[in-house]
Structure 1
Amino acid sequence: MRIVVLGAGESGAGAAVLAKVKGFDTFVSDTSAIKDKYKELLDKYNIPWEERKHTEELILNADEVIKSPGIPNEAPIVQKLIEKGTPIISEIEFAGRYTDAKMICITGSNGKTTTTSLTYHIFKSAGLNVGLAGNIGKSLALQVAEEDHDYYIIELSSFQLDNMYDFRAHTAVLLNITPDHLDRYDHDFQNYVEAKFRIIQNQTPEDAFIYWNDDPVIKKELDKHGIQAHSYPFSAVKEEGTIAYVEDNEVKINEPIAFNMEQEMLALTGTHNLYNSLAAGISANLAGINKENIRKALSDFKGVEHRLEKVATVRGIGFVNDSKATNVNSCWYALQSMTTKTVLILGGVDKGNDYTEIADLVHQKCSGLVFLGTDNSKLHNFFDILGLLTADVQSMQDAVETAYRMAKKGETVLLSPCCASFDLFKNYEDRGEQFKNYVLKL
């Protein structure tokens, strides 16, 4: 059987290794240059590969194709495979066939990286044999090929969920659903919602479904999707049906084992991080991790890079890196957590954004706006009416220096772009690293 892997990044290279280890005739193709570390990995396992092109005769003869999540269905080679009826799956789907480990899977428009990292931290701190995978950490397929874990904590984007069919999440966490990536879903929000709800497909009554009870989209969709798993809804305050919440300044989880801790002991602050902590705490509780271990891990977690990361204070002006905020709702959370007047740096590749959601917060909290992108016209059209000081820049160095000049002592400069980074940066990590470097040079 011939397996072709499209895309040779973390997920593609890992999938190729697993396919080779399982005895398949394996080939990897990428239209971009392949990073040296992935070339070395493929060469180590004697897997043939090509870069900067897709050779059709080497791809269209595949029995099954594993597609990297970044490649859209509109890509010409994908369209040709669809016309041929070739099965196209994700790396996660493929890896799931070859492990009996318990899968704790986390999705949502916002908070999934923090929740995944925090859940992994709790399991790891408790001494469990656990792997971190998906959108974060090492490829799940590579870990299944080379390691042997009892648990995997997996962050799943909507793109990864799109090509999953038989994969089963033993614990599925759905944090929230707000408009994001609409450019990949025909600008139809419902298509994106359906992708997120794929996390519960194949669940059985022995499995767990953890979700935020107050999300209007999730609430509306629950009945439609015929939930099979046992439900564990959480909220900020006690409500009918919720099993986890805060009451009298105490975090409480009632099922399956009663758990409580002082809210002020949580390492992560802010309402959105309370939800992340509750979801991670419930997941750990379900795995039977004892209360002391959960309490300790929830209180000593260090946070996630590029997510509300305090960088430095320069002459009384604070700098916060929230480069991971690639959608509007994520920026809303960041602005909500600001306790000073803020100069906001935003912009990049707009994914069909509606900025209405942050308009009130920008008006209340911002003293200035720095638009960082190759085309800022949509930002001007929306925000100019607020009458704030604005500036257009096309490099991170200019963004940092301009925001620094704009900010007064006691204010905060916040990079929370609302947009993807691909117009001026390799990815959001590159954008965040550049921000930190230029701040430290001030």
Structure 2
Amino acid sequence: MNNKQLIVILGGGESGVGAALLAKKMGFKIFVSDSGCISHNNKTILLKNKISFEENKHTESIILNKSNKIIKSPGLSTNDRIIKKINHYGIPMMSEVEFGKNYNQDSYIISITGTNGKTTTSMMIYKILKQEGMQVGIAGNIGKSFAKEVLKKKKIYVLELSSFQLDDCSKFRSNIAVLLNITRDHLNIYSNIKNYIFSKFRIATLQKSKDIFIYNYDDPIIREEMKNFSIKSHCIPFSIQKELSLGAYIKNNSIFIRNPNYKESHILELRNIPLIGDHIIYNILASILASSFLNVTNQSITSTILGMKPIEHRMEPIMKINGVSFINDSKATNVSSVFYALKSLSYPIIWIAGGKDKGNDYLELLTLVKKKVKFVILLGKENSNFKTYFKNIIDIILETQNVRKAVRIAYFLSVSGDHIILSPACSSIDLFKNYIDRGRKFKKEVKKLFCYDENNKFFFSKTYKRR
């Protein structure tokens, strides 16, 4: 493709603007098209770089008749009218991450996917490599455009990849690929779980024989589906349930790894890890394995893990007042994430849930909810599916479309020893911009419950009095 040809970028968000900046750097003609509003910040960037764009529409005469290549935002579904027309016209289309990789073929790529734990694992690997002094960048579904980040030309990139990003990749190759888990998710988008599984395994099937594929041995779906895909790379498992002949595992309450030469190495004891929960241990095992293939020292691994703090919106403690703990787990947008969240907390729990249902099956939560949750507050527009599952095991299920009311109702119902957790199991787009917006508004309302006096002590806000 020569630089006189037109690249159309669908979507004016983080990935779209990043792709536009990279295309501009490469000397291409660019047109950004978004069916919705483009943020003020992104419009400013486009204008500053003299990049043509439109919002609140897709001009088909340009997109279908003048473009030579389409770069698609992962937020656009294959069922969108404009995507169907592009496919009908046979216009080449690629993802923003694949476009970024084409520009920088020399960088070493570590990609992470899975239904849960992608962000935590990506950040952990990134911090370990940075601690080691490596020239490393991080991007992808974590909130940074890979296309924009490759302009910095780092030697290594850690990428968090969603199934939607992988769907649009046909050649994207990861030197190290990590598949953390697969549970039912996004089934409102994918017609069945087989299609979702296919998307996740694409991270491995696009690899070559010299690459590394790290996978969760304990995940029954992954272990079964490994038989159904042609994977050329070296497959390295991790497990918390079984001592493995190869990979990372738990033994004597410690983490070990065993390399291809069967040499066993002790990494650290579980009791020293500052965060709790099986899901955290899985993320740590995957991170250690990925780092070990880059010959990272044990000191860099252990110092990073022992210094871990909760990631914003993932089991993030907000405050504890009068014995009541507030926890922001807004990033828990599927049932499996909520399962691990509730499992890690002791009874009693006041659970704030709900949002845009993604075809959820809440069956795996029933026993845990019955055992640990005393009240549910639903924060969403349509909660019928949720209520159907839990109406016979939870006596009090309240509904609101206002985050302030959700927080204040929860605190009104609480007593000392309770955990109030926002862990929605649903997407946020019915009431919020995204899970980040939902989490930050939740935290803001929690903090509004209280004020400080001149002695720096908490007292209740004048606008709210607890029972």
Superposition deviation, residue 371 in structure 1:
1.1
Q: Which residue of 1 aligns with 2:359?
A: 352
Q: 2:279 aligns with which of 272, 276, 282?
A: 272
Superposition deviation, residue 408 in structure 1:
2.0
Q: 1:2 aligns with which of 2, 6, 26?
A: 6
Superposition deviation, residue 59 in structure 1:
1.0
Aligned counterparts, 1:289-308, within 5 A:
289-308=296-315
Q: What are structure 2's unaligned runs of at least 5 residues? A: 450-467
1:131 and 2:133 matched: no
Residues 226-256 of structure 1: CA deviation (Å, up to 9, x unaligned): 2211111000033344421111121111226
1:93 and 2:112 matched: no
Q: Which amino acid aligns with 1:168?
A: R
Q: The residue matched to 1:182 in structure 2 has which SS?
A: coil
Task: Between 322-331 and 42-51, report the one with greater CA deviation.
Answer: 42-51
Residues 128-152 of structure 1: CA deviation (Å, up to 9, x unaligned): 111110011421101113x110100
Aligned counterparts, 1:68-79, within 5 A:
68-79=73-84
CA contact (8 A) 1:6 1:30 kept: yes
Q: What are structure 1's unaligned runs of at least 5 residues? A: none
CA contact (8 A) 1:238 1:244 kept: no
Q: 2:370 aligns with which of 339, 357, 363?
A: 363
Task: Between 411-420 and 247-256, report the one with greater CA deviation.
Answer: 247-256
Q: Which residue of 2 aligns with 1:430?
A: 437
1:117 and 2:123 matched: yes
Aligned mates of 1:438, 1:289 — CA distance in 2: 42
TM-score, length of structure 2 as denominator length: 0.92
Residues 268-298 of structure 1: CA deviation (Å, up to 9, x unaligned): 3211100000101111111111111111111
Q: Which residue of 2 aligns with 1:382?
A: 389
CA contact (8 A) 1:119 1:153 kept: yes
Kindly tell me: are residues 297 and 365 of structure 1, through their superposed partners in 2, closer, same or farther at Cα, counting changes over 3 Å?
Answer: same
Aligned counterparts, 1:142-221, within 5 A:
142-145=148-151, 147-186=152-191, 188-221=192-225
1:44 and 2:51 matched: no
Q: Which amino acid aligns with 1:184?
A: I
Aligned mates of 1:264, 1:380 — CA distance in 2: 39
Superposition deviation, residue 342 in structure 1:
0.2
Residues 1-38 of structure 1: CA deviation (Å, up to 9, x unaligned): 21100001110101111112112221100111111222
CA contact (8 A) 1:69 1:90 kept: yes
Kindly tell me: are residues 114 and 27 of structure 1, through their superposed partners in 2, closer, same or farther at Cα, counting changes over 3 Å?
Answer: same
Task: Between 154-163 and 36-45, report the one with greater CA deviation.
Answer: 36-45
Aligned mates of 2:26, 2:204 — CA distance in 1: 28
Residues 137-180 of structure 1: CA deviation (Å, up to 9, x unaligned): 421101113x1101000000000000001110100000000011
CA contact (8 A) 1:158 1:196 kept: yes
Aligned mates of 1:161, 1:98 — CA distance in 2: 18
Q: Which amino acid aligns with 1:9?
A: G
Percent identity between the aligned chains?
A: 44
Kindly tell me: are residues 6 and 80 of structure 1, through their superposed partners in 2, closer, same or farther at Cα, counting changes over 3 Å?
Answer: same
Superposition deviation, residue 70 in structure 1:
0.6
Q: The residue matched to 1:331 in structure 2 has which SS?
A: helix
Superposition deviation, residue 106 in structure 1:
0.2
Structure number with greater Rg is 2
Residues 327-353 of structure 1: CA deviation (Å, up to 9, x unaligned): 111100100000231011110000100
Task: Between 38-47 and 305-314, report the one with greater CA deviation.
Answer: 38-47
Q: The residue matched to 2:103 in structure 1 has which SS?
A: coil
Aligned mates of 1:153, 1:240 — CA distance in 2: 26
CA contact (8 A) 1:259 1:291 kept: no
Aligned counterparts, 1:48-59, within 5 A:
48-59=52-63
CA contact (8 A) 1:340 1:411 kept: yes
Q: The residue matched to 2:77 in structure 1 has which SS?
A: coil
Superposition deviation, residue 267 in structure 1:
3.3
Q: Which amino acid aligns with 2:52?
A: P
Q: 1:418 aligns with which of 415, 422, 425?
A: 425
Residues 337-370 of structure 1: CA deviation (Å, up to 9, x unaligned): 0023101111000010011010110000001111
Q: Which amino acid aligns with 1:158?
A: S
TM-score, length of structure 1 as denominator length: 0.97
Aligned mates of 2:442, 2:27 — CA distance in 1: 45
Q: Which residue of 2 aligns with 1:235?
A: 239
CA contact (8 A) 1:93 1:166 kept: yes
Kindly tell me: are residues 361 and 12 of structure 1, through their superposed partners in 2, closer, same or farther at Cα, counting changes over 3 Å?
Answer: same
Q: 2:85 aligns with which of 80, 84, 93?
A: 80
Aligned mates of 2:395, 2:317 — CA distance in 1: 24
Task: Between 373-382 and 424-433, report the one with greater CA deviation.
Answer: 373-382
Aligned mates of 1:137, 1:152 — CA distance in 2: 14
Aligned mates of 1:347, 1:91 — CA distance in 2: 31
Q: How many residues align?
A: 440
1:224 and 2:212 matched: no
Aligned mates of 1:335, 1:55 — CA distance in 2: 47
Aligned mates of 1:361, 1:238 — CA distance in 2: 24
Residues 26-78 of structure 1: CA deviation (Å, up to 9, x unaligned): 11001111112222222232211111111111211211101100111111111
4+ aligned runs moved over 6 Å, structure 1:
none
CA contact (8 A) 2:190 2:196 kept: yes
